[in-house]
Amino acid sequence: MSRQSLAARTGDRIAVSLAYGVIGLGLAFLAIPLAITCLMAFDARTYLGPLPPPALSLHWFERLVSQADILTSLRTSLILAVLTTVLSVTVGTAAAVGLARGNFPGKAALTSAFLSPLIVPPVVIGFGLLLFLSKAGITNGMARLLLGHVIVTLPYCIRTSLASLLGSDQRLTEAAMVLGATERQAFWTITLPLMRTGVVTGAIFAFAISIDDVSISLFLSDPSATTLPVTLVSNMRAAFDLTIAAAAVVLIAVTALLIVVLDRVVGFDTVVGQGLFRS
């Protein structure tokens, strides 16, 4: 083996080692705060002490479920997430069908308009919605939160549904109509089943984003409708304790459950590895 080849192999090994090191540091940066949060949520002490906790207990979770404001905000978050998911999936699926099958002037501009909230910071959307809805006379907190969450989650539903629909074979729908099916029958029996991967993925994303949103909810909440993340932020400012860590563990569990559902229903490799076009 020549000296140049040996030097090239050594350089490749160093580059691979550095890449693995960067990946490991990135994973550690993401995982260590979560691990510490989960550990502290089970701290048996009644105050915020140094790591590690001397004993484990569930009393922070008992305190979490005993606070009326947290339970009320949790119920609001769940109702809001379900309504947001239903509206976003319904509108997003219809919009995706129109964008994929329709041929009309301004189609590209309309596609960009539907996807534009993805590039607008949520803080800007929240502040803009607060000003607009106040001018429009919409003062109901739940209605304002629902509009804000739908605006943020709708692009995800459109994007995933559109990707599934563009990856499917349109000739299947045409064949069904040639064989005598009406447009409505072809949509329910052919088009919608072909889109199910994107629809389910968009629904899970919409639910997860809605239940975890803070930026927009801070602007649109009122005393009659406050979400769980906003309540936790308010409590953290007033008196910081490990009840917030217990709530974080609950949200992590909900997110993990959604990932499991996504894997069971759609297949995680389909979404992350192969993409939605193979649905």
Which region, left, alpha or beta, applies to residue 53 given φ > 0 means left and ψ of -120 to 50 means alpha?
beta
Q: What is the mean pLDDT of residues 41-67?
A: 80
* Contact partners, residue 97, CB within 8 Å, separation at least 6: 161, 165, 187, 191, 195
DSSP tag of 240: -
β-bridge partners, 56: 43
CA dist 17 and 254 (Å) reads: 35
CA dist 174 and 182 (Å) reads: 10
Q: What is the mean pLDDT of residues 247-276?
A: 70
User: How many secondary structure helices (H) and strands (E) does the chain include?
Assistant: 14, 0
Q: What is the mean pLDDT of residues 92-112?
A: 80
Which range, 58-62, 172-176, 261-265, is most confident? 58-62
Whether the pLDDT of residue 19 is over 50: the answer is yes
Average pLDDT, the chain: 80
Q: 């930026």: which residue's tokens? A: 215
Largest Cα–Cα separation, the chain? 79
Q: Is 201:160 a contact under the CB 8 Å cutoff?
A: yes
Q: Is 209:156 a contact under the CB 8 Å cutoff?
A: yes
Report pLDDT for 123.
82
**Cβ-count burial of 5 within 10 angstroms (0-12 exposed, 13-18 middle, 19+ buried)?**
exposed
pTM beyond 0.85: no
Report pLDDT for 277.
46
Report pLDDT for 84.
93
3-state SS class at 10: helix
Report pLDDT for 132.
87
Report pLDDT for 279.
43
Name the least confident of 144-153, 199-208, 230-239. 230-239
Q: Is 117:152 a contact under the CB 8 Å cutoff?
A: yes
* Contact partners, residue 219, CB within 8 Å, separation at least 6: 123, 126, 127, 129, 130, 148
Q: What is the mean pLDDT of residues 48-52?
A: 75
Q: How confident is the model at residue 87 (pLDDT cuts 50, 70, 90)?
A: very high
Tokens of 83: 């309504």
pLDDT tens sequence across 154-181: 888 888 888 888 777 777 777 877 787 7
Report pLDDT for 270.
59
Amino acid at 30: L
CA dist 262 and 80 (Å) reads: 20
Q: What is the mean pLDDT of residues 262-276?
A: 59
Whether the pLDDT of residue 208 is over 90: the answer is no
Name the least confident of 6-10, 179-183, 192-196. 6-10
Q: Is 42:62 a contact under the CB 8 Å cutoff?
A: no
pLDDT tens sequence across 21-39: 888 888 888 888 888 888 8
Q: How confident is the model at residue 83 (pLDDT cuts 50, 70, 90)?
A: very high
Which region, left, alpha or beta, applies to residue 105 given φ > 0 means left and ψ of -120 to 50 means alpha?
beta
Q: Which residue has the higher pLDDT, 253 or 49?
A: 253
Taking the CB of residue 125, how many other CB atoms lie within 10 A of it? 18
Tokens of 223: 């005393």
β-bridge partners, 225: 222
Whether the pLDDT of residue 102 is over 70: the answer is yes
Among 57, 61, 63, residue whose Cα is nearest residue 43: 57
Q: How confident is the model at residue 117 (pLDDT cuts 50, 70, 90)?
A: low
CA quadruple 55, 240, 229, 124: dihedral positive or negative? negative
Report pLDDT for 125.
83
